[in-house]
Chain A
Amino acid sequence: MQLNGSDILMECLLEQGVDTVFGYPGGAVLNIYDALYKYSDRITHILTAHEQGAAHAADGFARATGKVGVCIATSGPGATNLVTGIATAYMDSIPVVAITGNVSVEQLGRDSFQEIDITGITMPITKHNFIVKDINQLAPTVRAAFEIAQSGRPGPVLIDIPKDISAAVTDYTPAPASQKRPVPPPKEPRIKKALEIIATCERPLIYFGGGVISSGAEELLMRFATEQDIPVCASMMGLGGFDPSNPLWLGMVGMHGTAAANLAAKECDALFVCGARFSDRVAGDRKGFAPNAKVIHIDIDHAEFDKNVATAVRIGGELKTVLAAFCDRSEPHLHTAWVNLVTGRKKDAFVPMQDPEEMPDPRAILHSLRTLVDDETVIATDVGQHQMWTAQHFEVRRPRRLLTSGGLGTMGYGVGAAIGAQCGTKHKRTVLITGDGSFHMNCNELATLVSYNLPVTVLVFDNRVLGMVRQWQKVFYDRRFSATDPERATDFVKLAAAYGCRGLSMNTASEIEAVLRDALSGEGPVVVDCRLSKDVNVLPMIPPGKTVDSMIETME
């Protein structure tokens, strides 16, 4: 069948099961958009306000559904606007295929209008990228991109398509969807060594990360933890991978993790690391984290072994395979004294005692929200204090239900991610928790929420300051609040109205539940301006580079 490059691209996307793409048109992708017009009955294109929003939406779609997210942008500025979104996906190992247009092959390298070397720019933030200079390579390239994005440790792949390639005609032969590459089985001697440790350790701890989510290993993780009676903590990327109501759950570990989790890490004699990478936000002091433990590191990416923390046993492979081997080949154990010790340090969920006329406490909002949404509701966040409060105080009970930029820490991630999640899950509502700082970065995507009438509730934790940076200035810079109190006069309710979106405000503690109920009902998007005190801090906090011994628990 003879087709042009743009139609071949559509056919290849359909081969991969793609039904939704996020993007923004432009000169170099006119041919591709012409094909999107033709294929609009089979591929839904969501037009964002800015390409960055499209990249975050593809990422949010992928995180929420487990499928590959797809975004499309034109050459030059369209392509560079994707960069932050691609980097966000790369740092959190999210499978995204980004498609950019470029000037015609003949015009490449001549500084043509809207020409940019996007493969050069995105080399360090993609698993791999391609520029297609031969129409016959287009279909194989798209198939390879989907294979690479999903295989092993997932991540973004970019395909740059010059304009003449999207017009050129060649023969198209259908092919089945790309498969993940098989992962070699874990090495038997390593499994044996780990089994010995499982049988003999006295104070074991499981620390898991996003790898549990991306590999779908949550059930095996639960089985391993409960059969072996091992307490469990997670990085922020892992939240949702373990039932927080299970008595073995210690909470998030690391800088803003619980004292219970961090103390358990300090005291354990065996640390089972499942799909996590000892980021500096978990192991601030790499040598002081789990100093007494034999580290058993399980990861699909061999480059993670010994990168940050030295391991006793490295097990490269599929997490599910390894955990299944652990479960099937070890006798159940009890570590009663140890479990009682570490779980006994868990504090009851924080319930702020508030005067009803006070400004609402962010933690109280999150507790109230938890009672009002079901477990399948996707919660997206931006980056800052509101993000940490969400991680600490909103119990995520299912995998893929907390979307947050962990590795890159991208302020402005949230609205795009919520758009992607809502389009992917089609759940009755998605909730974005953002801060006034983050929301100012990409609130233009309200336009997208309104265009598609997406049921997304945006809770703006509005303390009028750049709270997280300000908190660091309090602790480490002697309260010199440089550029963190912008004195903006933005009225978020009016801003919502200007975009054609419903806007609500929450000014006192007494209003929390009623306003949330209102904001979670009805159709379409809602923005809630939650006016908070600027002096609520994210606690506890382990200063960067330090251990739990330096944990700060109170702050003015």
Chain B
Amino acid sequence: MNTKKQVFSVLAENNPGVLLRVTGLFSRRGFNIDSLVACNTENPAVSRITVVVTGDEGVFTQVIRQLFKLEEIIKVEMLALDECTASEMLLVKVATDDAKERTALLKLVQSYGGRVLDIGEATVTLELTGESGEVDAFITGLEPFGIREMARSGITVLQRGDTTIHDYMI
């Protein structure tokens, strides 16, 4: 079977432990999580979990059906990446020893539309928000400078156009 990546948008009741129920389910059923983002939504009683899973169609179907067996799951939507805007955030601390290097670095940041968040004596902390591929490329560009530390948020997605998750029928 063909293995690929698939994004799921999950709406769940915003109760303590709900994230554990979802990740516990993924772990015991052997579903592979590439990234997972949990956050509040426009409705304080509802959490949104965006999860990217690697697997085949059979796995994706099981992900949906198993998630629906959890009491606190309100909605699960499989989203095609080309119908979504997907974005993730990168924070990265890069070594810059001399002024020349720092200039080259800032040029790179500018070309990617990143931001400088903080400047230390021997490092700069940068931020970039964008699609995963863009973030990957940015990291590759930063590598020669020396990456000291980084954190990626994992991707969050919303449908393009006027469609929302509330428009989907279960």
Contact = CB atoms under 8 A, between A and B. Distances in A.
B65 A305 contact: yes
A303 B62 contact: yes
A301 interface: yes
A211 to B, nearest CB: 15
A474 interface: no
B20 A302 contact: no
Interface string B3-28: 00000000000000100110010001
B40 interface: no
A504 B152 CA distance: 70
B68 interface: yes
A307 B62 contact: yes
Given A119-B17, A123-B24, A303 B71 contact: no
Interface in A105-148: 119-120, 123-124, 127-128, 148
A306 interface: yes
Interface string B50-86: 0000000010011001101111100000000000000
Nearest to A133: B16
Given A124-B28, A128-B71, A306 B20 contact: no
Contact of B61 (A123, A124, A148, A306): A306
Given A124-B28, A307-B62, A302 B68 contact: yes
Interface string A295-308: 00000011101110
A213 B58 CA distance: 29
Given A119-B17, A148-B71, A306-B58, A124 B65 contact: no
Contacts of A148: 71
B69 A303 contact: yes
Given A306-B58, A306-B61, A124 B66 contact: no
Interface residues of A, number: 13
A86 to B, nearest CB: 15
A308 B72 CA distance: 26
A120 to B, nearest CB: 7
Contacts of B68: 302-303
Given A128-B71, A148-B71, A306-B58, A120 B65 contact: no
B69 A123 contact: no
B61 A301 contact: no
B21 A123 contact: yes
B17 A124 contact: no
B71 A120 contact: no
B24 A302 contact: no
A124 B71 CA distance: 13
Contacts of A120: 17, 20
Contact of A124 (B24, B58, B62, B72): B24
Contacts, number: 28
Contacts of A305: 65
Which of B24, B58, B61, B71 gathers the greatest number of chain A CB atoms within 10 Å?
B71
Given A124-B28, A127-B71, A148-B71, A303 B65 contact: yes
A406 B26 CA distance: 24
B58 to A, nearest CB: 6
Interface string A232-267: 000000000000000000000000000000000000
A296 B58 CA distance: 18
A299 to B, nearest CB: 11
A123 B71 contact: no
A307 B70 CA distance: 17
Given A306-B61, A307-B62, A301 B69 contact: yes
A255 B40 CA distance: 49
Contacts of B69: 127, 301, 303
Interface in A258-312: 301-303, 305-307
A120 B19 CA distance: 12
A119 B21 CA distance: 10
Contacts of B62: 303, 306-307
Contacts of A128: 70-72
B72 to A, nearest CB: 8
Contacts of B72: 128
Contacts of B58: 306
Interface string A502-516: 000000000000000
Contacts of B21: 123
Contacts of A301: 69
B110 to A, nearest CB: 48
Nearest to B72: A128
Nearest to B21: A123
B65 A123 contact: no
Nearest to A157: B71
Contacts of A127: 69, 71
Interface in A163-220: none
Nearest to B71: A128
Interface in B94-148: none
Contacts of B28: 124
Nearest to A126: B71
Nearest to A151: B71
A303 B65 CA distance: 5
Nearest to B27: A124
A307 B20 CA distance: 23
A306 B59 CA distance: 10
A127 B66 CA distance: 11
Contacts of A307: 62
Which of A119, A303, A305 gathers the greatest number of chain B CB atoms within 10 Å?
A303
Contacts of A303: 62, 65-66, 68-69
B42 to A, nearest CB: 25
A-B pairs, top 6 by smallest CB distance, nearest first, are A303-B65, A128-B71, A302-B65, A303-B66, A123-B24, A124-B28
Given A120-B20, A306-B61, A306-B62, 12 more contacts: A120-B17, A123-B20, A124-B24, A127-B69, A128-B72, A302-B65, A302-B68, A303-B65, A303-B66, A303-B69, A306-B58, A307-B62
13 contacts: A123-B17, A123-B20, A123-B21, A123-B24, A124-B28, A148-B71, A302-B68, A303-B62, A303-B65, A303-B69, A306-B58, A306-B61, A306-B62
Interface of B: 17, 20-21, 24, 28, 58, 61-62, 65-66, 68-72
